[in-house]
Structure 1
Amino acid sequence: MKYGRTSIVNFLSQLAMSVSGFVATIVLTRTLGQDQYGTYIVVLSVLSWVAIAGEFGLPQAIRKRVSEGNNGNYVVAGAVTQFALYGIVAISLWIARPYLNDFMNIDATWILVVMLAVRLALVFVQTVLDGQHLVHVSSLLSPVEWTSRSIVQIVLVLTGFGIAGAFTGYVVGAVVAVAIGAYFVTIPNKPPSRQEFYRLKSYAQFSWLSSIKGRTFLSMDTIILAIFVSHSLIAVYEIAWNLASLFAIFGASISRTLFPEMSKLSSEKESDQVAGLLRVSLAYAGLFIIPGLVGAALVGDVVLTVYGSGFETGYYVLLVLTFARLLYGYMDQFLSTINALDHPELTFHINAVFVAVNLTLNLVLTWQFGWYGAAAATTLSAGIGLLLGYHYANRVVNVDLPAGEIAKQCLSAGTMAVVVFVARVTVGDSLPIVIVLIGIGAAVYFSVLLALSREFRTTVENNLPFRLPVFSSE
């Protein structure tokens, strides 16, 4: 199997998703305004936290058990369990709707229940496909969802439906993706036994905190910010976060691609091969986000203006959040490997510390320093999680840090920085010029990296469907 090709498919799918989301976000921010867009973001943040209760670690358990390939019917067992969890959470939301509506500053609990249903369904389908080693298929569902969502949102918002159009687009996009993904899911013929339910539960009882950890990193700051700052500032913060997340797509794609392979190798007691895949994931986790951080420092202030007046104030927050994403990307490789080796109890410990530190720091630092405090809290907790991830991963597998490859990526990004900085000072910094500079910077980065790193050249050559002249002398 060509892991690189699968990762590239996942990456390009996520990139396409980000592009469609980028266009829709510009329309939403410019049409709805910062306040209404901020309200939309708060609702999505609440949905994300509610979804954790609706999943309770089940997606991670399904992906792990299905990927082991032991002929159990974890698909139906997982679907039954998921439906039951959704019912409990949906009823709880309806009971708590007065408080939820007050917090969100909009009467949206009913749409929250609908959005939760389609979100859980999409996550379930993608998880099963990942477990069945169809990552290249599940990867395509996200851009399908986001493209469908974006088209509907743009049409409805521009025709006067306002924030209701944004919510409708979210639901429609998920439904389209679920319908397509379900076609590729293979359902075992035999009914699930009690053993399948038990093995899902035995993994989920530890992995549920992983969902909280992930959501804590992604939106704890947004929830806390909703207490201390206006929705307009939350809109700017979220845009900065989205740009930072764009650079982290490739690292997440690698983790998602290699997990089922690591899991299968682990069940076959091939720990040395798992260690090799971990090194590969660490070597390429920063491939895009390292130059992304440098690029954000060089032209991030101009890029933010595309969202409208006032968004450039998020420049420094963008830099801090991008660095947080860099740390978290490496942390995620370690935790994914530990989970693949069937040690969810170890990631449970890491996640518990991460959540506690992140929550505490977000409350204290946001209270004292506003959105800069929220960004700093996210970064500090990611750094602590990275250290813990390395420590525990080293206990279950021989960790070989690819320091040389990471150093070459940093050097290439530094060369790119010099070229882009000189060009910006010389030519100017209007938005069209900056877009061209981004392309030039990317070309310089990858050209220098190809020249410096034999490992990178070999990886590129092995995963291309054709041979390029640049590799002919190798």
Structure 2
Amino acid sequence: MQPAGPGRGIAQLFAARAGVMLAGYLVAVLLARGLGPAAYGTYGLVLSVLIWLEITATAGIAAAMTRLLAQHDGAAASLERTGRALLGAVTAALFAASWLAAPALARLFGVHEGALLFRLAVLDLPLAGLYVGYQGALLGRRRFGVWGVALGLQGAARLGGTVLLVLWRPSVAGALVVNAAATTVALAYLVAIAPPGLGRPSAPWVRRLGREAVPLGLYLVAVQGLASVDLWCLKALGTVPAPVVGLYVAAGNVARLLLAVPTVLAAVLFPSLARAVAARDEAGARAHLATALRGALAVLLPAAALLAVHAEAVMTALYAPAYAAGARYLALQLAAFVLFALLDVGFQALMATGALSRAATVVAALVPAALGLNLVLIPRAGALGAAAALAGALGLGAAAALALLRRRFGVALPLASVVRVGGATGLVAAVGARVETPLGWLPVELAALGAAYLILLRVVGEARGERR
């Protein structure tokens, strides 16, 4: 298969990731309905630990492989072998450590039969190492179509396995096995399409990959920890019943829908920003950033507001009436993930300019602050305290990211845009709060309010990018 061009490649990756995200949310809804709040909270906790472990083991190395392959096409075979060997060694070591630590994790989080559940979860770790090795190699070679098919297979396998599990006998253990099986399906396809080459890793490439991977890996590990420490503390402190943890996890899944915004921006904006910086086109870089910040605000603010004013209906429609009480946590979590998206846009923009270490250091420094907020607020306010701590920590991060962007590029969120977007959002949210719609008509109401918001943006000039 021939490498795809940049535009076609971005379209392929976006379509594949959109499909995987949709499949992931369908899986979340099916499991929430099938398991019930208490067991779903346990599943969400175990999965969040697994995701953090996988990011710790793989993310920085895969991204470094992609960048280096794009720069050193003639040494691709040696670089790929080295990257895969490094990923295999790191994930194998972390798998062994996690397997041994499973009983301690179960005690820390107070999970019944937790050692078994954590061990079932980390079965995916070595598989993820091989899988992500293909990601780094295929994206570096611009074989976006192959990687897109693999993503689609993984999402479809996970969704299909979850449907069968829920119809047969839903359980947390079964859901974790399905997760590992889905990775296996995608990995089998990749091995059949592009068998891994044999040979010894290269010591120079190990050193180069390490230098490239550590700052980005530290950023990704820290930012994932920042977004997860609220749930970990909520469960570890044991101050709320298990069903409340499940409601909190379900509400958090809704709020995380907002993270689609920085994902899209990362694919579209930051290659352009990196090119502008490399060409010393400061005016072009500032224009790209200003467009990204205004666009992010224009999408995030109304989405969060409309979901917040319909929180109980959204939780009931997505999950079940048993999850309606999770609406009380959703507004704060939505605010938190608006801030998270701005944080991620800001720091990824800085990393696109080569400031990897600075971004990683700032985000890592926020993790102790987040931990402190959770330890103070959760004993006093339970799950609401966890959501408030999440919003507070991510607010600090967003403020730091925007301040660094202003210092580096002289770019900030235009006050006029904040006023226009805020005014339009407030108006449609106020209307939405006063209109009572039957549950089955909720999507129609949200679509109508969204259309009204776009018209308002057009009327006030924000949709045309007018400066006033």
TM-score normalised by length of structure 2: 0.84
Q: Which residue of 2 aligns with 1:86?
A: 91
Q: Which residue of 2 aligns with 1:280?
A: 291
Unaligned runs of 5+ in 2: none
Contact 1:412 1:445 in 2 (8 A): yes
Structure 1 window deviating more from structure 2 (292-301 vs 109-118): it is 109-118
Mapped partners of 2:246, 2:371: distance in 1:
21
Structure 1 window deviating more from structure 2 (103-112 vs 266-275): it is 266-275
Deviation, 1:224, is 0.9
Does residue 171 in structure 1 map to residue 168 in structure 2? no
Deviation, 1:155, is 0.9
Q: Which residue of 1 aligns with 2:232?
A: 223
Q: Which residue of 2 aligns with 1:441?
A: 449
Deviation, 1:83, is 0.8
Mapped partners of 1:220, 1:90: distance in 2:
21
1:117 maps to which of 92, 102, 126? 126
Unaligned runs of 5+ in 1: 459-474
Q: Which residue of 2 aligns with 1:470?
A: none
1:259-280 residue CA offsets vs partner (Å, 9 max, x unmatched): 3444455455555443333223
Deviation, 1:217, is 2.9
Q: Which residue of 1 aligns with 2:105?
A: 100
- Supply the RMSD in Å over aligned alpha carbons: 3.5
SS of the aligned residue for 1:285 comes to: helix
Structure 1 window deviating more from structure 2 (332-341 vs 207-216): it is 207-216
Deviation, 1:379, is 0.9
Count of matched residue pairs: 454
Mapped partners of 2:265, 2:30: distance in 1:
31
Contact 1:122 1:174 in 2 (8 A): yes
Letter in 2 for 1:40: Y
Deviation, 1:185, is 8.0
Deviation, 1:85, is 0.2
Letter in 2 for 1:409: V
Contact 1:250 1:287 in 2 (8 A): no
Give runs of aligned pairs for residues 144-183 of structure 1, distance below 5 A: 144-160=153-169, 162-179=171-188
Q: Which residue of 2 aligns with 1:31?
A: 34
Deviation, 1:135, is 6.8
Deviation, 1:328, is 1.4
Percent sequence identity over matched residues? 23
Contact 2:34 2:170 in 1 (8 A): no
Mapped partners of 1:389, 1:185: distance in 2:
40
Letter in 1 for 2:451: A
1:11-48 residue CA offsets vs partner (Å, 9 max, x unmatched): 66555444433333333222222222222112112212
Q: Which residue of 2 aligns with 1:304?
A: 315
SS of the aligned residue for 1:370 comes to: helix
Does residue 416 in structure 1 map to residue 416 in structure 2? no
Mapped partners of 2:464, 2:133: distance in 1:
34
1:237 maps to which of 235, 248, 256? 248
Over 3 Å counting, the alpha-carbon distance change for 1:9 and 1:70 in structure 2 is closer
Q: Which residue of 1 aligns with 2:221?
A: 212
SS of the aligned residue for 1:286 comes to: helix
Mapped partners of 1:68, 1:290: distance in 2:
39
Deviation, 1:400, is 5.2
Q: Which residue of 1 aligns with 2:51?
A: 48
Deviation, 1:413, is 2.5
Mapped partners of 1:81, 1:224: distance in 2:
32
Contact 1:251 1:284 in 2 (8 A): no
Does residue 329 in structure 1 map to residue 341 in structure 2? yes
Over 3 Å counting, the alpha-carbon distance change for 1:18 and 1:98 in structure 2 is same
TM-score normalised by length of structure 1: 0.83
Give runs of aligned pairs for residues 368-447 of structure 1, distance below 5 A: 368-399=380-411, 401-422=413-434, 424=435, 428-447=436-455
